[in-house]
Amino acid sequence: MMLTLLISCPKQPGNDIDVYLEPLIDDLKSLWDGIRGVYDAHIGEYFTLHGVLMWTVNHFPAYGNLSGCVVKGYKACPICGDDTPSHRLKNCHKLCYIGHRKWLPINHPYRRQRAAFNGKLEYGTPPEPLNGEEVLRIVEDINYIRGSKNGGSVGENDDDRVCWKKKSKFFDLEYWKYLHVRHVLDVMHIEKNVCNSIFGTLLEIPGKNKDGIAALLDLLNMGVKTDLQPKYGERCTRLPPRP
C-alpha cells in the first residue's frame, strides 16, 4: 500500500485535482507498458513488471472530483443521471432523493407503502449504469477550464452533459474505459455519516437532530405522517411524540 498523494482540507483543489494526478498518470502509463529489469530476489531472475490501476477508493465528494460526475444538486446520482428523483424540501432547505425503492424486487411490499415513504407508489425499475466507453463518449469534448476564478466547463449546459462537468484524468489510461468498476465509495465515511444522523436524532443532540419542526412541516407538505402536525400554542410549539 502506497500513499501517493495527501491533500488536506479545507483548501483542497476540488475539480482541479487533475493537476496533481498528472505525475501519477505518467507512472501508471509506464507500468502498463512494462518496466524491464526488475529483479526477483526469490528466483534470482530479472523480469518485466506490469501494473494496472483497478479503481479509486474515495468518499462521495471526491468521487465527483475524480470521475467528473456531478454529485450535488438535482442530478446528483451517478447511476440515475438525468432521471434522478430529487425533491426540494421547503422548510429544511435541502434536497432529498426519494427514488431508492426502485432497486427493490418488483413485488416487494415497500413499493406499495405510501405513508411510510413519500406518499406515492413505486413502479420504477433501476437504471443500467453507464459503462466506461459510454461515459467517455459523453465527456470526450467537454473543455474544463482549470482554476478557481475560471473554473467551469465549456458547454456544461448542454442537455446531454448536465450530469458531467469534465473528462476524468484517468481516461488518459488506455484501459480505463474498459473497466467495469472505476470508482469505489469509501464505506467508512458513509457509515460514519449515517451513524451520526441516527444517534443525533435518537438522543436529540442539538445541531445533530434530523427530526425537528422543519422536518415535520416538510412531511406535512408531502402529505405524509399528517398525525405528526406541530401543535401551536400562545407561548410555545409542541411537537407530538414520534414513533
pLDDT in tens, 22-51: 988 999 999 999 999 999 999 999 999 999
| Residue ranges with strand state E in the chain | 35-40, 45-49, 56-58, 86-89, 94-97, 143-145, 152-154, 183-185, 231-232, 237-238
Locus of grid cell 401551536? 232
| Cell reading at 3 | 500513499
| Beta pairing, strands 35-40 & 45-49 | antiparallel
Between CA 64 and CA 73, with CA 69 as vertex, the angle to 5 degrees is 85
Lowest mean pLDDT across 7-11, 17-21, 92-96, 115-119: 7-11
Q: What is the average pLDDT across 212-241?
A: 86
Structure confidence at residue 19 as a pLDDT band (50, 70, 90): confident
Query: Each residue of 71-100: b (16+ CB within 10 Å) or e?
Result: beebbbbbebbeebbeeebeeeeeeeeebe
pTM of the model: 0.80
DSSP letter (8 states) at residue 204: T
Query: How many angstroms separate the CA atoms of 101 and 98, rounded?
Result: 8
Work out the pLDDT band at 211, boundaries 50, 70, 90: confident
Residue 26 amino acid letter? D
The answer to whether 98 and 117 have CB atoms below 8 angstroms apart is yes
By C-alpha distance, which of 157, 176, 173, 156 is closest to 165?
Answer: 156
Contacts of 138 (CB under 8 A, 6+ apart): 130, 160, 161, 164
For residue 156, name the pLDDT band (cuts at 50, 70, 90): very low
